[in-house]
Structures are given as C-alpha cells and as structure tokens.
Structure 1
Amino acid sequence: MTFFYMMALFAVGLVLIIKGGDWFVDAAVWLAGVLGVPQFLIGATVVSVATTLPELTASAIAAFEGKVDMAVGNAVGSVTVNVSLILGVAVLGAPFLIRRSQLWGQGALLAAGCLVALLCSLRGSLSALGCVLLLLLFLGYVAFNIYTAKKERSAERPAARPGDRRRQIAGFLLGAAGIVVGAKLLVYSGSGIARMAGVPEAFIAVTIISFGTSLPEFTIAVTAAVKKHTGLSAGNIVGAGVIDITLILPLCAVFSGRALPISPQGLLLDMPVSLVAVLVCCVPALLTQRFRRWQGACMVGVYVLYVAALLWLFV
C-alpha cells in the first residue's frame, strides 16, 4: 500500500466520521425533542455522547484489533485536544462568562477521571479496579446531569425539530454507519501511515487521530462561538472529556479482552498532560466565573508544549 493511498483512506475516514457525526447529532436531537426530553439534558447528554462516538468507535475498533496504544492514545489524547486546543481557540476568539454551578460538577468529574486513570495505571496497565472506578464516575456524570436537568427544567417542553420522520431515521442510521466505517478507515490508515513513516502508533493516535475524531467538538465550538452560545461549547467539550476518560477507556479494556497496557508515553506524558490541561481549563474559570483570553492562550500553550514534548521524547 502506498503512502498516498493510505492518506486518501485517512481523508475518506475523516469525511465519513465528521458527516456521520453531523447526521447522527441532528437525528438524535430531533428524537429527543419528539420524546419531550428537556433541552438542557439534550445538550448535556445526547450531544456529548454523539460527538464522542468517533472517539468511542475508533478506540473500540483499535482495541479489538490489538492496537492498544492507538486505542488508549486516542481516548486520552482527545481529552487534551478538546480542553486545551479546541476550547482554548474558542476562548481566544470569544471570551465568555460561565456560571460556577454549570462547570464545577462536570469539571470535577473530568479531573477525577484523569487522576484515577493515571493512578490506576502506575504499574503499566489500567487495572480492573481502575476500570470499575472510572465507570462509577461515568454513572455519577449521568446522575449529575439528570439531577441538574430536573433542577433547572423549565415549564415548556422542547418542540420536536421539523422534518420528515423517515429522513430523520435515515439520518440516524446513516450517521451511525458513517461513524463506524470512518473510524475503521481511520484506524487502518493511521496505523499504516505510522508504520511507513517509522512513527510510533501512540504518537499518531494522540495527535492526528485524536484531533480528527474531535472535529465534531471543534465544529460545535466554532459554531457556538459565532452564534454567541459559547457556554454550550464549554459544556459539550468538558462533557465529552468525561465520556472519553470514564467510559471509553474501560470499554477499550473490555474490547481488548485483557488488562489495558499503558505505554511509557501514555504513563509519563499523555495522562499527566491531560490532567494538567483539565486543571488549566477549569480552575481559573471556577474562580472567576469567566474564560478570558489569557486563559485561552495558556490552554493552547499546553497543547503546543505537549506536541513538542512528544516530538522531542518519543519520535
């Protein structure tokens, strides 16, 4: 297989995963509206789950095929990409206020997930206890969102999105198929590019693939910033990070059928940096109840330093 053929497959995989995610989100939000789910709960759960489907499918397929470094690197790397690069760019473009009550729960769960994943991997693999603790944090995330939705629910029910029922169902199914097929192509071409270029798969996973599968979050962040709905962007990105760490990592262990080995790169750099990125994202915002441009610059700086360290130490 030639390098250009692999790059073409990679590009096709990205297009499928992005367009599939777009169709899936539209259909999922329409379905939630039909069922009368509160709008807050739609944003906090359906949108976050839908935008993390690329990470979930890419990591699950990689784990099932034995490419554990790629599976773990994509899940952990997506957290770093989301909370440092993507949200950082959004904050640089449009600083915004955020209520402490909106951020503290998800921010605390995300930081706890990163810390648990790191501590439970110190012996070189993510232990069964670590997987259980992460899944408990995920259940806590779901419970927190339900509690908050009930607490802040308005008297009005969200209206169902207009459109033909068959078109929405087709979009739901085609979107899911596009995500799965795109993730398969992404994993296959990513590992092929890594082998041809002599680059470790773990590096490809935490940079190119993790950014590629985070493009739905990037799209939402940019759109939300343009439409002045930046709080939605922050909630989706932090929520997606919680899912990446607390759900996708344990599922990778299930799909691999064994304890999840963590590479030296993952243990010494990827996981610690993801925790630092979360703290840089959440702590100043919790203290001041706003995201400022200097904080956005710091968040982007964390990602730039992270990639530089990867190139210096592991490539």
Structure 2
Amino acid sequence: MMMYVYVCAGFLFLLGGAELMVRGAVGLAEKLSISKMVIGMTVVAFGTSAPELLIALNAALSGSSGLAVGNLVGSNIANILLILGVSGLILPIAVGSKVFTRDWWVLAGGTAVFMALSLPGEIDFFGGSLLLLLFTGFLYYSYRRETVGSVLASPAFNEEVDDIGGVPETTWLSIVLLVIGLAGLIGGAELLVNGGSAIARLFGVSEAAIGLTIIAFGTSLPELAASVVAAYRKHADLALGNVVGSNIFNILGVAGVVALVSPLDIPARIVNFDMIIMAVSALVLMPFMIGNKEVISRPVAGFYLAAYLGYIAAIAAGLESFRY
C-alpha cells in the first residue's frame, strides 16, 4: 500500500516543487533584470523538464538505470503523441514558424544520436559528454536566434511568461521559493523512484516498464498542463514549442547529465521497441515541419492520441517481455 502512497506523494512533490522553483527563479531573474526571452528559454524550459532530470539522476545513482531510461523514452513518446493529441483536439495547432522546423531537425538528429549511443546497451561518460555538448550547442544557437526575434520573443511567448502566477516581489522570498521548490523536486524524485521500484518488484516486472508508463506519464504532466492552457488561450503553437523543446532537453540535456554521473544501462527491450516508437513519434511531425502541412488538425491529433493509447496497450499486452 505504501508504495502507491510514495508514487502519489512523489508526483505531488514533483509538480509542486517545479511550480515553486519556477516562480522563485522567475522572480529572481526579474530582480536581476533578465529578459523574458532568456527566462523562457532557461527557467520555464528547465522547470517543465526538471522532474525527468531529478528522477533520472536519482534512479541512476540508485542502480535503477532501467527506470531512468524508461522515464526519458516514455516521456518523449507521451509528449508528442499524448500532449499534442490532447492539445490538438482542443484547438488545431498551427505550424507556421521556421523556428519549429529548425528545432525539429535538432530533435530528429538528437534522437538519432541518442539511439546510436544506446545500441551497445550502455551510454557511458563519453556518450554523455557528446549529448551534453550537443545540448550546449543547441542552447547557444537558440540564444543567438532569439536575440534577433522569433516565436519565443512573440507576444504569445511573453504572455506565457507573464502568466506565471505568484511571482515573489522580493529577492529573499524568490530565493526561499527556489530552495523549497528544489527540495520538493529532490524529495519527490526519491519517493517516485522508491515507489516505482517497489511496484515493479511486486508485479515481477522490470523497472523499465514502470518508467515507460506510470513515471513517464507523471513527469509529462507539467508539459501537458502548460500545453492545454496554451491551447485554451488560442496559443496552440506554444504547445508544439513546449513539446519539442522538452524532448530535446530530455534526450540531450537530461541523458547527457545522467550519463556523466553514472553510466546508463539500456535494456535491450527498450532499444528494440520503445526507442523505435520514440523515433516514429518524432517522424510523424515531419510533414508539418518540412512538408506543406501547416496545421495539426483535430483528426490528426485524434490519431496521435489513439496511437499513444495503442502504445500503452501494447506494453500491457507484452508485459512478459518485461519479466525478470
């Protein structure tokens, strides 16, 4: 029973911690006169991906690499198929910016590199260094790009930053929220990893199965919430930006940092099946990114959502492949 309490409490701590950390960091950044553009590229982006980072680090250091990798891969699948599916059903997503096209190429290339490094069954220090180097290059490129204007510097993007409620008015309160939020993230990650590992042992399945499903869904909740709100406010294009940016952060930034700290053991089942689904989920965006399709319509969004439900059903039907 306690394992389920740990998982639920872990999700609450993660979500609450990420929210407080973002508020504190935004407040501190504003006191330092940092632009909304930079705040959005760093603080907001990190805030929605912080759960994946903390869980992956905790799991890897605890010897649960399968859960860490499962969470990263499962989260990237959920971000595209689930989040864009739900957001696109609320409001069709316009894909009219060249920024999305450029970022999609980074996502596609990063996914290919991540999969290639995973083929031997482990991403070591060298692989982590390469991923982190690519991620650093992407951040620099993005910063240079945003200084001359883009979707992130648009009124819609500025509104997203402005909509972060409860931003402290004093520097000391910003620091307090930042510290409390970070503590919540760390504590939530610890509870989730322990609870997820216990559930895996109870049902006799690998931790990777829990990471691909329950944990991945939970850590995608910040992106889902942000994207649904953006769609309701008729800024559905921001949902696409959030998803693509978060996925790049996961496979380059999070995987890179974790592999530097501890080698990531990649279960063969994830390499042979789940990573292929992750790659296909990125490729389904190709017609909209480099083709002549400019809107992710409701029927297409419905297909994405159905595909995600089918993927979860396939995992449930094939749990034998996750047995010890």
Counterpart position of 1:58: 55
Asked if the contact 2:124/2:259 (under 8 Å) is kept, the reply is: no
Residues 109 and 137, structure 1, Cα contact 8 Å, conserved in 2: no
Gaps of 5+ in 1: none
Tell whether the 8 Å contact from 1:81 to 1:210 is kept in structure 2 after alignment. yes
Residue 249 (structure 1) shift: 1.4
Letter in 1 for 2:5: A
Q: Which residue of 2 aligns with 1:23?
A: 20
| In 2: Cα distance, 1:302 partner to 1:203 partner | 18
**Do residues 185 (structure 1) and 191 (structure 2) align?**
yes
Backbone CA RMSD of aligned residues: 2.4
1:145 paired with 2:142, answer yes
- 8 Å CA contact 1:16–1:182 kept in 2: the answer is yes
Q: Which residue is equivalent to 1:308? A: 313
Q: Which residue of 1 aligns with 2:46?
A: 49
Q: Which amino acid aligns with 2:128?
A: C
Distance 1:234 1:169, change over 3 A: same
1:126-145 aligned within 5 A: 126=123, 128-145=125-142
2:247 corresponds, among 220, 238, 241, to 241
Partner of 1:297: 302
Give the Cα separation in 1 of the matches to 2:312 and 2:11.
21
Identity %: 34
Matched to 2:278, the amino acid is S
Distance in 1 (alpha carbons) for counterparts of 2:39 and 2:101: 19
1:128 Cα deviation after fit? 4.9
1:149-298 pair list within 5 angstroms: 149-152=146-149, 163-256=169-262, 258=263, 260-287=264-291, 288-298=293-303
Q: TM-score, normalised by structure 2?
A: 0.88
Residues 135, 111 of structure 1: CA spacing in aligned structure 2 closer, same or farther, 3 A cutoff? same
How many correspondences in the alignment?
Answer: 310
Tell me, in whole angstroms, the C-alpha distance in 2 between the residues paired with 1:168 and 1:52: 20
> Which of these residues, 80, 83, 104, is aligned with residue 83 of structure 1?
80
Deviation at residue 183 of structure 1 after TM alignment: 0.6
- In the alignment, structure 1 residue 68 sits paired with structure 2 residue 74: no
Structure 1 residues 180 and 128, CA gap change in structure 2 (3 angstroms): closer
Q: Aligned AA for 1:14?
A: F
Question: Is this contact kept in 2: 1:116–1:130, CA < 8 A?
Answer: no
Cα distance in 1 between the residues matched to 2:240 and 2:28: 23
1:39-59, CA deviations, whole angstroms, 9 ceiling, x for partnerless residues? 233223321111111000000
Contact 2:118/2:266 (8 A) holds in 1: yes
* Counterparts in 2 of 1:310 and 1:114: CA distance versus 1, 3 Å: same
Displacement of 1:231: 2.3
Return the alpha-carbon distance in structure 1 between the equivalents of residues 294 and 130 of structure 2.
29
Amino acid at match of 1:187: V
TM-score, normalisation: structure 1: 0.90
2-side partners of 1:270 and 1:41: how far apart? 34
* Structure 1 position 133, deviation (Å): 3.2
What's the secondary structure of 2:256's corresponding residue?
A: helix
Whether contact under 8 Å (1:38, 1:149) holds in the other structure is: no
* Equivalent-residue separation in structure 2 for 1:283 and 1:262 (angstroms): 30
The one-character-per-residue Cα deviations of 1:204-233 (angstroms, maximum 9, x if unpaired) are 001100111121111111221222222222
**Aligned-pair CA distance for 1:251:** 2.2
Structure 1 residue 129: deviation in Å?
4.9
- Tell me, in whole angstroms, the C-alpha distance in 2 between the residues paired with 1:149 and 1:88: 28
Aligned letter for 1:33?
E
The letter of the residue matching 2:305 is V
Quick one: distance in 2 between partners of 1:314 and 1:269? 13
One-letter amino acid of the counterpart of residue 242, structure 2: N
Check conservation: 1:84, 1:281, Cα contact below 8 A: no
Between 223-232 and 242-251, report the one with greater CA deviation.
223-232
1:282 & 1:19 partners in 2: Cα distance? 34
Q: Is the 8 A contact 2:11 2:218 kept in 1?
A: yes
**In structure 2, what is the equivalent of residue 14 of structure 1?**
11
1:255 to 1:248, Cα distance in 2 relative to 1, 3 A: same
Aligned to 2:116: 119
Q: 1:307 to 1:148 in 2, by over 3 A?
A: same
Corresponding residue to 1:110 among 103, 107, 112:
107
